[in-house]
Structure 1
Amino acid sequence: MRTLLFAFLTILSFHASVGQGLTDDMKATEDQLRASTKQINQFFRRFNGEEDENGKRYYPTDKRYREASLRKKFVPVLFDTQTSPIDQSVAKAFIKTITDKKSPKFLDFHKDDWFVEVRASFKYKSKSITGTLYMQLQPQGQGYEWVIQDVAFSQFSKYFDKASGEEKQFLHPMSHELDFMTLRKALDKQKHAEQYTLDSYEPDYLSIFLYELNQGNLTFVSAKNSAFHFFAIDGYYFSITNFNRPGYNSGWLISSLVPLENEDQKQQMKDYIYHKD
């Protein structure tokens, strides 16, 4: 009898401990899911202080809507603290700037200077290639739509190799006296006719992309990953990336933060992102 009673109590104890363990694990998982910034819209709301720590929305009529203390609590959680080499002093200055009580800074989903960089796979003349689409929102009817603003394809850029110096071919400055007969020789079977263009010439890769797509030479396969770039806060550039991992520091997080001293630095950063540097 004692043996049976001991076994029964042991089983009860085992189930109680397992149940407690499951409850603890479920609570931890639930907490992690709440902490994770799962959507871009949620990133905007948390950045602006428009929801609480449980995901409850705040509206302009709510007392805590865009409250500075709420934002000071939330914004540090929006940084990737595991893998991104973000300078802590820069991050603190950034948070201080956007949560300043006299002139706070917020993100506007529809109006701000921000765009998304989408890495995608394609088939180009039966070969698998990777390209980058730069997309932004634009007004459409009563709402908005995503549009392709620019593209970057190494497959396209290698077709434009503008020679310089002694290697550069040119049209003689007196060609006009010969009714430009030299054009035949210059352009016949030419693989790099761009050397006869202005020094300032830049290929329009978006037009090439659309042409090849419309001709059926290029077909979309799938989107691989995305990064969102923000120039909405004066004096700063930052990007957000999706970190799909367990734990509280996951989801859409700030992966880079760079102070910008002037418009020249801002343009340099954009050129770098668009592969135009």
Structure 2
Amino acid sequence: MRYKIGLLLLCLACPGRLLAQSYEKEFGVAFAWEVKQVDEFIERFNNDESSFIQTYLKKKAAAGPPTREKMLKSLFNAKGTNWNYGEITAFIKQVSRADHPQYLNFDEANWFAKVRCQLLSHGKPAEAALKLSMLTLPDGSCKWVITDVEFLGKTDLPAGPAAARPRVHGPVPPDPRVSLNPMSYAIDFMNIDLVTKNPANIENFVSSAPDRSRSLELFIDGCLRNQFKIVRATSISYTFLQIDGWLIEVRQFNRASLNSGWLISKLVKLS
């Protein structure tokens, strides 16, 4: 009884301190579970023992770390309303098979970012979605390059079929060092305006594939003519095609929840 009275007096005397401690504890747990970057998403998807969440759980949890199945479930947007739970179960079962586990790989192909941007088209506000993939250079370094462009809404574009337009070639970039750093994802592509900052460097930022899409060619042509200027990135998603038979889309969900950060927003079973 004396102990309970003492505890009550302590709570009445130091309510602010106790609330602060409770908040700090809850914030710490939420921060640990938040998937802060796409590379952390990959680590958690792969159940990497060196990942931030695994390190946290080893220090805090009395029981053993969660299984890969549970970790995968935590990566789905729990507030999504259009999930096919049968497909999710089949996906998790396939990925976590003991005899043939499947993983995501940051350094391999078959994944890309889609960055929606505000831009100026002939001086007028417009929007475009840039598809970017990681390109490995001969020296082993990497950079993001634009592989396609989707113009959103009304944008002034030249008319005519792609076959009637010759391939657009930008000049040899005066500064070959200017590019989208591979860590651009960590700053949510805040540096995306570099693409159109100096039109002479445009070839540093786009794919050199011989079969570039017409929309990408139009974008390059517009940049060379100073008709397009990227203002900023407004939203980002990532798409992974590295798991056999599945498409995974990842988006950021900012909320005060253990289920927050970069999470699976769409799962599509490919035929």
TM-score normalized by the length of structure 1: 0.68
Is 1:75 aligned to 2:65, yes or no? no
Report the CA distance shift for 1:221/1:203 in structure 2 as closer, same or farther (over 3 A).
same
Q: CA deviation at 1:138?
A: 1.1
Q: Take 1:133 and 1:196, find their aligned partners in 2: how far apart are those partners?
A: 22
Q: Take 1:196 and 1:124, find their aligned partners in 2: how far apart are those partners?
A: 24
Structure 1 counterpart of 2:145: 147
Q: Take 2:31 and 2:128, find their aligned partners in 1: how far apart are those partners?
A: 32
| Cα distance per residue 1:218-250 (max 9 Å; x no partner) | 111000111101111111111000001111110
Report the CA distance shift for 1:213/1:53 in structure 2 as closer, same or farther (over 3 A).
closer
Structure 2 counterpart of 1:47: 45
| Cα distance per residue 1:3-30 (max 9 Å; x no partner) | xxxxxx9985434333222211110111
Q: Which has the larger radius of gyration?
A: 1
Report the CA distance shift for 1:133/1:101 in structure 2 as closer, same or farther (over 3 A).
same
Report the CA distance shift for 1:227/1:23 in structure 2 as closer, same or farther (over 3 A).
same
Segment drifting more, 148-157 vs 251-260: 148-157
Is 1:240 aligned to 2:250, yes or no? yes
Structure 2 counterpart of 1:109: 106
Is 1:27 aligned to 2:25, yes or no? yes
Report the CA distance shift for 1:235/1:196 in structure 2 as closer, same or farther (over 3 A).
closer
Q: Take 1:88 and 1:16, find their aligned partners in 2: how far apart are those partners?
A: 47
Structure 2 counterpart of 1:230: 240
Report the CA distance shift for 1:95/1:214 in structure 2 as closer, same or farther (over 3 A).
same
Aligned residue pairs total: 209
Structure 1 counterpart of 2:130: 133
Structure 2 counterpart of 1:164: none
Report the CA distance shift for 1:196/1:254 in structure 2 as closer, same or farther (over 3 A).
closer
Residues 149-168 of structure 1: matches in 2 within 5 Å?
149-154=147-152, 159=157
Is 1:56 aligned to 2:66, yes or no? no
Structure 1 counterpart of 2:259: 249
Q: Take 1:21 and 1:229, find their aligned partners in 2: how far apart are those partners?
A: 41
Q: Take 1:133 and 1:204, find their aligned partners in 2: how far apart are those partners?
A: 14
Asked whether the equivalents of residues 156 and 205 of structure 1 are also in contact (C-alpha less than 8 Å), the reply is no
| Cα distance per residue 1:67-91 (max 9 Å; x no partner) | x963122111000011352211111
The AA in structure 2 aligned to 1:125 is H
Q: CA deviation at 1:158?
A: 7.2
Match of 1:208 among 218, 237, 250: 218
Q: Take 1:107 and 1:28, find their aligned partners in 2: how far apart are those partners?
A: 30
Unmatched segments (≥5 aa) in structure 2 = 1-6, 57-64, 165-211
Two-structure CA RMSD over aligned residues (Å): 2.9
Report the CA distance shift for 1:10/1:108 in structure 2 as closer, same or farther (over 3 A).
closer
Identity percentage over the alignment?
A: 26
Unmatched segments (≥5 aa) in structure 1 = 1-8, 58-67, 161-191, 262-277
The AA in structure 2 aligned to 1:47 is F
Q: Take 1:138 and 1:53, find their aligned partners in 2: how far apart are those partners?
A: 27
Q: Residue 81 of structure 1 aligns to a residue in which SS? A: coil
Q: Take 2:99 and 2:8, find their aligned partners in 1: how far apart are those partners?
A: 63
Asked whether the equivalents of residues 80 and 255 of structure 1 are also in contact (C-alpha less than 8 Å), the reply is yes
Report the CA distance shift for 1:84/1:229 in structure 2 as closer, same or farther (over 3 A).
farther
Q: Take 1:217 and 1:53, find their aligned partners in 2: how far apart are those partners?
A: 44
Q: Take 2:230 and 2:75, find their aligned partners in 1: how far apart are those partners?
A: 32
Q: Residue 14 of structure 2 aligns to a residue in which SS? A: helix
Q: CA deviation at 1:126?
A: 1.4
Q: Take 2:163 and 2:132, find their aligned partners in 1: how far apart are those partners?
A: 32
Q: CA deviation at 1:251?
A: 0.1
